[in-house]
Structure 1
């Protein structure tokens, strides 16, 4: 495996595992299959950090073959949420030309950090996504948890003193 990012269960012994290099691997009975389930390496920005972030299967995957993928697009580094369809004649692969882009989120931070990759279907049948905040996450920056703690801790202490 090359930097796995997410997993989706097809059955008790079959799994799809996404990787940052733009590939989704099919694992059957603990063995990585030779041909990836889906390869979108030409669409991603960086195979080390900015490739596929998350995957999920449609609740009716067995019937419709829909797989949802969140990846970082090459060039502008936007987050893309897309649907792919399993091949009809080869259920061990998805068709890379079947991409249907559902949502694109541009990231204004040139560092492109703090993306979130989780996507999944809720019990209501709706697709839920996480986006992250595009913060650089550097020490002392907006996304720095230590800086946030220094700001909010006194506020929290004041709140509890008032109670």
Structure 2
């Protein structure tokens, strides 16, 4: 990394804690020492997501995706959720479903961080559009979106954000 003119932002993982200072001198985002707990990994991932979100241009409220032969503008506020369909992504908005030829990962990487949440290997939701939660499913309008069992607790924490009233 020292030899790179414009080094990328990275999270270093190692079994050697004594090199942490060297890592931070390289301006890394975080330094994880093995064995890495899921909570610590998640904290580092959130730090990276926040770092990239803070560098998105101000006022950008949309993306363009290629649907058929048209470059379609989709406003973030209109997106309810997206689902992976092999080599395509189905972007569900208030009005319709847009099928775009792109990878699910590239779609996810270009969404604003705090607003969207990957809840399953094939689904990303806009947190503010959630109408309800039923068992292991999220309800957005008439749509039922499955939640990954392995990350359910963290997903529910992000969606509920401490606003769950109970007896």
Answer whether TM exceeds 0.5 for this pair: no
TM-score (norm: length of structure 1): 0.22
TM-score by length of 2: 0.22
Higher relative contact order by CA 8 Å / sep ≥ 6: 1 or 2?
Answer: 1
Higher helix share: 2
